Chain A
Amino acid sequence: MCIAIASTLAMTGCASTLFFPAKPAEKAADKVIDDIWPDVTKPVPPKADAKKS
């Protein structure tokens, strides 16, 4: 029984090694990209009218 439990734990350990949290990684990537390319990929805010009559 101990062997069975140990192997199950080992399997879940392997699963967590293989498991990669893609969405949090994408969020982290976006934060890093924002810091490195601060003014490249953000939407450009609309320009205010130069002069309003």
Chain B
Amino acid sequence: MSAIRALMRTLLCCVVLAVLGAAQLVFAEEDADFDISSPAIMSLKKSMANRFTQLRPHLDAGVIGLTHEGIVALRDAATIDVKALLALDALLVEENKDRATLYREIARANNRPEWESDLRATFAKRWISRLPAGWFYRDEKGQWVKK
């Protein structure tokens, strides 16, 4: 009998702890505010903002677009010459490297390195939803879609 009581007490403790833990998580969701101001993040943002002036004409022209993976990719190279294509390719490599580092740094700055892939997906979603009309994005099926 005393063993059953002890077991019940243990189970009750577990339930209380689980409820408290869940409540803490819910409040954490509402109060959470991602730190996006670390020196590494600021530096990445500056680098990407500077590069954007070079990428923008290609985004306007539909030569490149965003992808659901949160990167920038070549869409249609028919309108640019080889020299410009090589320069653009180098830009894309740098941009995507910065993007990958940005997602990792935000996760790290918030002491949640395991959130990197979730952050990448969130950024991809926001980036695509905020694309201006006429720009392209590549969806999960690999299809390019014009906004």
Interface residues of A (CB under 8 A from B): 1, 4-5, 7-9, 11-12, 15-17, 19-33, 35-38, 40-41
**Mind listing 20 A-B residue pairs with CB under 8 Å?**
A1-B10, A4-B14, A5-B14, A5-B17, A7-B14, A8-B14, A8-B18, A11-B18, A12-B17, A16-B25, A22-B122, A23-B29, A25-B34, A25-B122, A28-B34, A29-B122, A29-B123, A30-B130, A32-B45, A40-B130
Q: How many A-B residue pairs have CB under 8 A?
A: 100
Q: Would you call the interface of chain B mostly helix, strand, loop, or mixed?
A: helix
- Which of A5, A12, A37 is B13 in contact with, Cβ under 8 Å? A5
Q: Would you call the interface of chain A mostly helix, strand, loop, or mixed?
A: helix
Please name all residues of chain B whose beta carbon is closer than 8 Å to the beta carbon of A21 when the two chains form the complex: 28-29, 32
**B21 interface residue, CB < 8 Å from A?**
yes
- Which of A1, A7, A11 is B6 in contact with, Cβ under 8 Å? A1
Please name all residues of chain B whose beta carbon is closer than 8 Å to the beta carbon of A19 when the two chains form the complex: 25, 28-29
